[in-house]
Structure 1
Amino acid sequence: MRENLAGVLSQSMAFTDCMNPTDLSTEKKGIKRKNWRNRIRLLLKKNSSQSILHLKRNRPYRPTADDVNQWAQSLDTLLSHTYGKAAFCIFLKSEFCEENIEFWTACEDFRTHTSHKELASKANSIYEEFIKSEAPKEINLDFHTKNAIVQSLHEPTATSFLAAQRKVYSLMENNSYPRFIHSDLYKELCEVARREGKHIKS
């Protein structure tokens, strides 16, 4: 049964708690790899004409070979592309360490709020989920950065999480992103996008 693209993107952003890969058996790792392969295929494959028409009104239906190649230019380029970000999320989930991109995304959303009430509510949610000790998706921050966030919770501003967000971005840029670009997942994305492009032209 085919899933629509919106469903696939939604699933790729629905993260679970970070797990240690060493806790999993080889068999479970194999199942995980199969899952990301299926999700990538769904991300790129054709769907019903109704779904295609709906998506074409808003943005290109799926990434082209050029799009996928551009994702290797920088993490910023990757995250600025809807499908690139979704693919990166799938990769991080396959490595059982997706809390960094989820925190970064939450910070991006946080900075769009303007009212004090909204900022306070979102700031506390982010703190509870990512910052406090033993939070469900605790990210790795130094004491100084974490303490500054705690102090700002009384009067949060749009920049309350900026330092932490930059540290997490740097961590992804120097670790997860290079692994993604050299991963089997990315190579398969490039190949599928290239084949799709040839199919469309022929």
Structure 2
Amino acid sequence: MCKGLATLPATCLKSAKDIKHKISFLLDQKQAKGKIANAAAAKRSEKVEYVDVVVRVPSAAEGEKWKESFSNVMSSELGRSVFTSFLRSEFSQENMDFWVACEDYKNTDPSKFTTRAKQIYQQFVKADAPNEVNLDAATRDLTKQQLENACPCCFDEAQKMIYTLMEKDSYRRFLNAQLMRDLCQTRESCC
């Protein structure tokens, strides 16, 4: 960190980090719109060989299942994808990214545990990490200690905390999101 940034209060650094996430989100949206526009233009000229993104809209039944419990969202690949998009709109996608990284880590070759654990720690857990997740100091310290003997369970407490955060906080807002309301209205109009 440069000397000028080191003298700033933590709240200023947090605000700067939030602005960085918002800008990257807006850039991602602009790039996605550009890809769609380019694909549409190419299609009009009949030069399209493939489309970069295939979007599957969740069915009303899937939406109803997701409303039953957060675990139903997380156990569905499409559910996680839709929920991740929702988290991105709230600038908290790092929570899902961390959860997925922890799941992948559990399936890592044991010879690569130490390296991969350090990467995850540097990316998500360490204070001021690029995609820092919201962990209390005790969990952050416990996770750091467990890195010394990297094993499949060294991120378990941190992962549980982030899962609970998503379930108790973001999931509640997700249920009230426009997509979920639209899925419910589709179901009601069909019956």
- Give the TM-score of the pair, scaled to structure 2: 0.67
Greater fraction helix: 2
Measured in 2, the distance between the counterparts of 1:170 and 1:98 equals 15
- CA shift, 1:154, in A, is 2.0
Alignment partner for residue 106 of structure 2, among 111, 114, 120? 111
Measured in 2, the distance between the counterparts of 1:140 and 1:82 equals 24
Alignment partner for residue 132 of structure 1, among 103, 121, 126? 126
Cross-structure match for 1:156? 150
Number of aligned residues: 149
- Kindly report which structure 2 residues correspond to 1:115-194, keeping only aligned pairs within 5 A, or say none: 115=110, 117-191=111-185, 194=187
Measured in 1, the distance between the counterparts of 2:76 and 2:109 equals 25
The higher-RCO structure (CA 8 Å, 6+ apart) is 1
Measured in 1, the distance between the counterparts of 2:98 and 2:81 equals 15
Cross-structure match for 2:88? 93
Cross-structure match for 1:65? 60
- CA shift, 1:146, in A, is 1.0
1:91 partner letter: F
Measured in 1, the distance between the counterparts of 2:58 and 2:72 equals 13
- CA shift, 1:114, in A, is 4.1
3-state SS in 2 of match to 1:72: helix
| Percentage of identical aligned residues | 34
Alignment partner for residue 102 of structure 1, among 97, 100, 114? 97
- CA shift, 1:20, in A, is 5.7
Please tell me whether Structure 1 or Structure 2 has the larger radius of gyration of its CA atoms.
Answer: 2
3-state SS in 1 of match to 2:118: helix
The alpha-carbon distance between structure 1 residues 176 and 160, as it changes in their structure 2 partners (threshold 3 A), is same
Unmatched 5+ residue regions in structure 1? 1-17, 39-50, 56-60
Contact 2:59 2:183 in 1 (8 A): no
- CA shift, 1:108, in A, is 0.8
Deviations 1:83-102 (A, max 9, x none): 11111011110111111111
2:169 partner letter: N
Contact 1:130 1:139 in 2 (8 A): yes
